[in-house]
Amino acid sequence: MGTTAFERCVGDVGGFLDHYWGQAPLHRPGSGTDAFADVLTLEDIDSLLAERGLRFPALRLVKDGATLAPSTYTKRARLQSRNLDDVIDPGRVYEHFSQGATIVLQALHRYWSPLSHFCRELELALTHPVQVNVYLTPPSSRGLDIHYDTHDVFVLQVSGVKHWAVYGEAIHYPLAHQKREGKITDPGEAQIDVELKPGDCLYIPRGFLHGAETVERESAHLTIGILSYTWRDVIDALMGDVDHQVFLRESLPPGFARANEKLLEQIPAKLQEFARWAGGRDPQEIADKLTRKFWASRPPVLTGQLQQILNLDQLDDSSLVRRRRGATCHVDIKRDDGLTLLLGDRTLHLPASLEPVVRYLLGRAEFRIEELGDHLDAGSRLVLVRRLIKEGLLEQDLGG
């Protein structure tokens, strides 16, 4: 391997960004049947279905364009003193599958660590959030009707074969709520018409119509969804400050809803005032807000953290420490009150004096704690490293 997650999806990243990203679908033939075996196999899916005790809607079933009622494949279970009525019944899931239903495993990046890492790598490359679903379709079946999605997707074929058709754009850059209701009967001519084989990747930008069905064989694929930030988010970031603007807090003219002349008269001036205010905003401040939004909302990947916590008291100056795989950290020094580390789901405030040592340790693949000696005394460096291990940013080398 040695290639990045992004390259595994699109090949040449530069060419993809120039010619396809947000513009056009792309089919990329794969490098063989085992191309995605390290992230998910059919055996893995089998074990996820049968052994994980999943609850709806982590798994759902669709058939011929319709979602099956969860009550037909869930069961009741008692846990502690609680009655759960949404526990997936694997036996009934397999029965539905035998009768043509597609199994959808939702948000696998949350609990299947090879996919957590794959998605994390991809989202760090894009700095747009990424999620993944798995679709397992029996032979001669169709899961969803022709539709478009409101986020870009990479379809990665894991096993079996599926026939895909990608048509033109139904709506340019749809947002999450801009879905189309009702059946699409005339999607127009297909731009891509292909049998997706193991190792293949298909990129479908949001808004592009597509449909898929299996023929002779079953099919298992990953759909990686890219939940892009848009310019709408820039406006949202701007609007966060609007409440501080007195000129917008002024009440509308009394009686405006009965006779609106006064309102009509005042709107253009207010909009101009708003445009002046918006135009005078510091772009850096807005960019920083969006940057923080990404780095402060990444779910942690805490594989092995139990061992880390149990071995904290073994840490000494000679301990080898490294950045935890998949851990995110953004150093925010814009604030006056010290150093802020955005660690995905948590924010860590440290004294500003620690900036050089934090930069040092973030810049290294791995290091021994004694290497921090130029910056911190023996006690302080142990305290800092221990804290960063607890926060999930670093991990101690526990020797195999």
Span between the terminal Cα atoms of the chain, in Å? 22
CB 396 within 8 Å of CB 390: no
Q: How far is the CB of 390 from Mn ion (least distance, A)?
A: 40
| Residue 207 DSSP SS3 | coil
Using CB under 5 A as the criterion, which residues of the chain lie in contact with Mn ion when the complex forms?
149
**Sheet (strand 394-396) strand order:** 366-368, 320-323, 394-396
Q: How far is the CB of 149 from Mn ion (least distance, A)?
A: 4
- The smaller minimum CB distance to Mn ion, of residues 149 and 395, is found at 149
Judged by phi (left if over 0) then psi (alpha if -120 to 50, else beta), residue 338 lies in left
- The smaller minimum CB distance to Mn ion, of residues 169 and 395, is found at 169
Q: How far is the CB of 62 from Mn ion (least distance, A)?
A: 11
The stretches of 27-161 forming alpha helices (DSSP H) are: 42-51, 90-98, 113-126
Q: How far is the CB of 151 from Mn ion (least distance, A)?
A: 9
Residue number with the smallest Cβ distance to Mn ion: 149
Backbone angles phi and psi of 236, in degrees to 5: -60, -45
Q: Kind of pairing, strands 219-226 and 320-323? A: unpaired
Identity of the amino acid at 298: R
- The smaller minimum CB distance to Mn ion, of residues 174 and 299, is found at 174
Q: Where are the beta strands (DSSP E) in 1-142?
A: 26-28, 59-63, 66-67, 74-79, 82-88, 102-105, 130-137
CB 130 within 8 Å of CB 192: no
Q: How far is the CB of 158 from Mn ion (least distance, A)?
A: 16
- The smaller minimum CB distance to Mn ion, of residues 149 and 169, is found at 149
- The smaller minimum CB distance to Mn ion, of residues 149 and 152, is found at 149
- The smaller minimum CB distance to Mn ion, of residues 157 and 308, is found at 157
Q: How far is the CB of 140 from Mn ion (least distance, A)?
A: 20
